[in-house]
Structure 1
Amino acid sequence: MKNTIILIFIFILLLLGPIGCTSFLDVKSDSKLAVPTSLEDYRALMNSINNSLAVPEGEVMSVDHYLPDDEYDALFCQTDRDLYRLEDSPMIQECDGSGGWALAYGNIYRANVAIHGVEAFEKENGISARSADVKGQGYFNRAINLYELAQVWCAGFDPQQAESTLGLPLKVTDDFNEKTVRASLKATFDLIVEDLQKAEALLPDQQSNIYWASKVAAWAYLARVSLYMQNYEKARVYAEKCIQSNFKLLDYHHVDGGKKFPFNVNDNSEIIYPRFLTTAYYSISIDVSHMDSVLYQSYGEGDLRRSLFFNKKDGALLFRGDYGGGGGGTFCGPTVAEMYLIKAECAARTGKLNEASSTLQEFLSYRLDKTIPVPETTVLDQVLWERRKELLWRGIRFGDVKRLNRLGAGIALKRTIRGKEYLLPPNDSRANILIPQKVIEQSGITQNPR
């Protein structure tokens, strides 16, 4: 009876809660304690609500929005305060829930349990479409969590230096006793791409439930990852696959702007995969964080996003363009709109200027008032600016700054708090934030250099 209770308890932990970063990396396992064994058990693991939650630290450090001084003073969590002002934090304090490191490695652990569990199940029962789907979810979830971790804790990807650059601890088994070491950045991204390609092969073209990843979701993340790796031809191909899929651009001309939050997940044809920034940090709450006024002014009068994305309240400029409908963490998953912008950027970078121009114009025809002529442009800067405006508050900007700075963009991040300026220069090592101190102490892995 006692053993049965323990088994049930462990399964509930796997299903509902993130495995803490140190427990996954360092806690010794007990081989006597069983884990889920049926295909439905592994499917339930991949249905955990935490699998839809994403790493938030990059958004905290984004400077497209800011806190009024009194709201900053009210931050109760030191880690939140440190990240917000672009300063090093040992992340010794959990804020309102687990931070990105613990959350992501908990998701990775569940994915590993599912992958290896389904493989064992298939040896006994044979391969079916259902078992392939569950295993594909495991590879997909492991990949996207590693990708989000890498954008925050690792240097921006440079193909010439990736082999000698620190990457992440790569956990591909469910063995708690496995030695923890940091792989190279190249090995980290090789695994991410390999996992997404395995997911692509296993997942069906469509799912009845949008929260269950499809083949198109794998393509979308392959487009994201390839763009980050400066592999523009592959990113363009995968983005085009998504554009040609059953997901379609949302026409902003038909969005009801009279609602407090004009968008939601269920009625949005362009959402490829719903994913949301965890609400661990109060500083990225759309209820209190204000928008940068200069960025707001870049949305012209004929830009439908100007009214659909923003709301003025008591003199404050607030964001209301959350595709999640303002409930909980903000939406950060891939959309067809993002795929248009990836395709346009990649076409521009590879000399396909006509394609870049036509792709951008087609996208903007869904975002600009029909009385405003769509601008004709082949300028890469215009594509990048539209990307910044469209993908606001999606957990994307921080990774974009790192990848663009690797290409010489020279983007510095700056915040001002009570008159004091805090600056993160281009390619500064502090953009690769410190691994939580508890993980360093218990695992002995190399900390990010300073």
Structure 2
Amino acid sequence: MRNKWIICGLAVLFTTATSCKKYLDIAPVGKTILTNVSDYDLFLNSQDLTASGARELNLLGDDVDVTTIPKTPDRVEDLIYLWNAQYSTDTKVPPAFWGRHYGNIYRFNAVLVGIDNAGNGTERDRRRIKAEALLGRAFEYLYLVNLYAKPYNAATAAKDLAVPFVTSVDISDATPPRSTVAEIYDHIIGDINAAIPDLPANNTANHFRGAVTAANSVLARAYLYTGRYEAAAKYARLAMGDNPPAILDYNTIANKSAIPNMAIRPFDLYARYSTNASLKEYPTVAFLKMFDVSDLRLKLFYENTGDYTYPKRGVVAFNPSGAVANFGTCVEEMKLIIAEAAARAGRLPEALAQVNDIRKCRIKKEAYQPLSSTDAMEVMGFVMRERRLELAYKGLRWMDMRRLDAENRMPAVYRYDANNEAIATLPPHGARYTLQIPLAVLQFNPDMPRNDD
């Protein structure tokens, strides 16, 4: 099968064909509007390339509770929430997750293929733009390998199938086979390391753009997901630098509208919108009860909290409107990566210090008490709880659930209807922890190996 599946089989351009033809006009149309270095530079600011994570990632996690599921669910988001094998039988629409990430990979590849021949720019700018595209593409593949492949296992990563590694924009090229998990991670880490020498030191003027700080933060996440915790902590420290950007102290702001725009937030290292940035999520009661009632995150981001007893499901809502959640990387995530590495290595004071650095900016000053413990399991629990609370609804919980399940630390997860009847179950080590290859892809690639069902 030829690379037609990149454009047609994946439905990558079905939702963006108009905008692409207006701005990009990549083959097969036969025109090239990206001509000068400045064109490519502006293209990296496009809405598509600054929106990576799908909001629907939140629906896979155990912190959401949808009480309005119909008896016969057929909407894509409902089927995602119920961990259905396929989310749509319509092969003419973009497949959830896959289409978004490969769409952006196609765009980044267009930059990588064309930038060397772009006119009216310096060689330094060409290298910088190429480096930013390598980083952006690596970030997209980091999502894909953590959705369509089994969780990283050093013993099996060289055999476990992941996703095709696509570098071409030519529809006549042959479709690559599914790479292994090890190969995709090698590409991710290799491309980011290749990019770093040509990236600017920081992106303080626009956090949506690539920089050394952003690249190191993505490396930190990649190493975390492969279980190389000390390497993850190393790159998390590099991402923050010698003078880490200050975490915003929620004690100092009246409401979430006082939080700066994502492009200039010092604590956001690599800014990325989600596909539906302002959509509300409905937390489970169990998740809400993990918060201290003095936690200012409840006041700023959650509606209808009442007296914090949460007697009824589906009432409290997480509402990011006014302070859109970053689906990229941030200082808080880096500190939690350092904390997890320290906790796993038995460096408990270091782990606690990182967690408390975040908590003291989240709990009302008059109520704040630092966490303390000499019990390794308890400290690890503090770290993982803080990941859930601080990184909530940023598309990361599903990745953490996969990691925890691989360590035999995830219980069964249930979905309930409005009558509190269980309607779906995700058991430990369930096949649904790895998403199935979409039907829209299989239609054009009938011989592509499926994942376990």
Shorter-chain TM-score: what band? Answer: 0.7 to 0.9
Aligned to 1:165: 160
User: Which range is displaced more, 32-41 or 170-179?
Assistant: 32-41
Shift of 1:142: 0.5
Could you tell which deviates more after superposition, 73-82 or 238-247? 73-82
Q: Select 1:13's aligned residue among 1, 20, 29.
A: 20
1:448 corresponds to which residue?
451
Q: Which moved more, 1:412-421 or 1:102-111?
A: 412-421
C-alpha distance in 2 between matches for 1:375 and 1:390: 16
Aligned partner of 2:287 in structure 1 is 295
Distance 1:103 1:227, change over 3 A: same
Match of residue 217, structure 1, among 214, 218, 226: 214
Partner residue in 1 for 2:400: 400
Q: CA contact under 8 A between 2:67 and 2:416: conserved in structure 1? A: no
After TM superposition, the structure 1 = structure 2 runs for residues 351-370 of structure 1, keeping only pairs within 5 Å, are 351-370=346-365
Unaligned runs of 5+ in 2: 1-15, 307-311
Q: Distance in 1 between matches of 2:354 and 2:336?
A: 8
The alignment partner of 2:269 has SS state of: coil
SS at match of 2:395: coil
Deviations 1:367-424 (A, max 9, x none): 2233322111352111111111111000000011101211221343221124233111
Q: 1:10 to 1:360 in 2, by over 3 A?
A: closer
**Structure with greater helix percent:** 1
Are 1:252 and 2:250 matched, yes or no?
yes
TM superposition score normalised by structure 2: 0.83
1:210-267 deviations in whole A, cap 9, x for unaligned? Answer: 222221111111111110010111110111122335532111211223x579675256
Unaligned stretches of 5+ residues in structure 1: 1-8
Residue in structure 1 matched with residue 235 of structure 2 by the alignment: 238
Q: Secondary structure at the match of 1:153?
A: coil
* Aligned-partner SS, 2:351: helix
The structure 1 residue matched to 2:185, chosen from 183, 189, 195, is 189
What TM-score results when the alignment is normalised by the length of structure 1?
Answer: 0.84
Residues 1:101 and 2:104 aligned together: no
1:110 alignment partner, SS class: helix
**Do the aligned partners of 1:79 and 1:95 also contact (CA within 8 Å) in 2?**
no
Secondary structure class of the residue paired with 2:304 = strand
How far apart are the structure 2 equivalents of 1:96 and 1:116? 27
Which amino acid in 1 is paired with 2:197? Answer: A
Query: How many residue pairs end up in the alignment?
Result: 419
Q: Shift of the alpha carbon at 1:184?
A: 0.5
- Whether 2:196 is the aligned partner of 1:200: answer yes
Contact 1:272 1:335 in 2 (8 A): yes
Q: Contact 1:80/1:95 (CA < 8 Å) preserved in 2?
A: no
Q: CA deviation at 1:11?
A: 9.6
Q: Which amino acid aligns with 2:253?
A: V
- What CA distance in whole angstroms lies between the structure 1 residues aligned with 2:21 and 2:42? 10
Residue of structure 1 aligned with 2:427, choices 419, 425, 428: 425
Q: Which amino acid aligns with 1:236?
A: A
Please report how far the alpha carbon of residue 312 of structure 1 lies from its aligned counterpart in structure 2 after TM superposition.
Answer: 0.5
Q: Report the more deviating stretch, 104-113 or 49-58.
A: 49-58
Deviations 1:149-192 (A, max 9, x none): 22122111111110110111100222222222101111011111
Write the letter of the residue equivalent to 2:391.
Answer: L
Match of 2:10 in 1: none
Q: SS at 2:424's partner residue?
A: strand
C-alpha distance in 2, partners of 1:75/1:205? Answer: 52
| Partner deviation per Cα, 1:42-75 (whole Å, 9 max, x = no partner) | 2233222111222424322112122222xx3399
Shift of 1:77: 5.2
After superposition, residues 218-367 of structure 1 pair within 5 angstroms as 218-244=215-241, 247-257=245-255, 264-265=261-262, 268-279=265-276, 285-286=279-280, 289-312=281-304, 316-320=315-319, 322=320, 325=322, 330-367=325-362
- Native 8 Å contact 1:343 1:359 kept in 2: yes
- Compared with structure 1, are the counterparts of its residues 38 and 294 closer, same or farther at alpha carbon in structure 2 (3 Å cutoff)? same
3-state SS of 1:167 partner: strand
Partners of 2:221 and 2:250 lie apart in 1 by 24
Instruction: Tell me the CA shift for residue 96 of structure 1.
Output: 9.9
Q: Distance in 2 between matches of 1:411 and 1:95?
A: 37
Q: C-alpha separation between the residues in 2 aligned to 1:397 and 1:365?
A: 23
